Amino acid sequence: MKIEILEFISGAKQARGVVVIIDVFRAFSVACYAFDSGAIQYIAVGDAKSAFELQKRYNNSVLVGEREEKKIEGFDFGNSPTEILKVNLKGKTVIHTTTAGTNGLVNAKNASLLLTGSFVNADAIVKYIKTLKPEHVTLVAMGYRAETTAEEDVLCARLISERLKGQKPDFQKQLTDLKTGSGSRFFNPKNIDFSPPTDFFLCTMIDRFDFVLRAERRYDGHISLIKTDM
């Protein structure tokens, strides 16, 4: 099994084989918490306009997303697992758009199979990929706003890569260091309304969920996520 680590939208476009689009802070952590909260359907879209149009077609739906970390005007929720934990999404369709993660899914058009990636379901991702026995795996660290390397996404890619190789990495110190690195924004009082400290801890709970989220391209070009228990 050859494992390749790429970054950003350009990496998503180049990715091939089994592709994992990684967005720890916060898109694909949010997606896991949304399914855990009872969502029955999840649709990832590249822009807010498409999200509003989809909402007209799905009566029992909620809009989740951000631009520049903040909730998009007219949306129900921001891109925050803390917000998702407070609501019951049972039976709901989640329509989600973010700057990095969901756009990574939309642009990964050469993948033979597409998954989301985050710390909260990292072990399930590894188990699932091992059952496939693929020749090539591409891990795409989407980065901060899909343009700057994000320590947490690269660290998650390394965790998945090393576990796929049968290693048992201990990244606890690196996770702690994220508090003063790329995760420091969650501890800035100015950001508490849209990026609270609890988001940091919810996104770095390694292996909290034992399911993968497999992405399938829809007839309209958007992406559906399918929950598969491991």
Domains along the chain with CATH numbers: 2-229 (3.90.1560.10)
pTM over 0.75, yes/no: yes
CA distances to 128, 177, 188 from 18, in Å:
11, 30, 37
The pLDDT value recorded for residue 147 is: 87
Are the C-beta atoms of 65 and 23 separated by less than 8 Å?
A: no
- What are residue 91's phi and psi, to 5 degrees? 80, 5
DSSP state of 22: E
Rg value, the chain, Cα: 16
The pLDDT value recorded for residue 10 is: 96
CA–CA dist 118, 106 (Å, integer): 17
Pairing of strands 93-97, 111-117: unpaired
pLDDT tier, 3 (very low <50, low <70, confident <90, very high otherwise): very high
pLDDT tier, 53 (very low <50, low <70, confident <90, very high otherwise): very high
pLDDT single digits (tens) 73-100: 999 999 999 999 999 999 999 999 998 9
Sheet with strand 17-22: strands edge to edge = 2-7, 136-141, 17-22, 111-117, 211-217, 223-229, 41-44, 93-97, 61-67, 70-71
Are the C-beta atoms of 99 and 146 separated by less than 8 Å?
A: yes
Which residue reads 């350009």 in tokens?
10
If you count DSSP H runs as helices and E runs as strands, how many of each does the chain have, helices first?
9, 10
Which residue reads 């407070």 in tokens?
86
Percent of the chain, pLDDT > 90?
Answer: 93
Q: Which residues contact 180 (CB under 8 A, 6 or more apart)?
A: none
C-beta neighbour count of 91 within 10 angstroms: 10
pLDDT at residue 169 above 90? no
CA–CA dist 48, 53 (Å, integer): 9
* pLDDT, mean of residues 33-46: 96
Mean pLDDT, the chain, rounded, equals 96
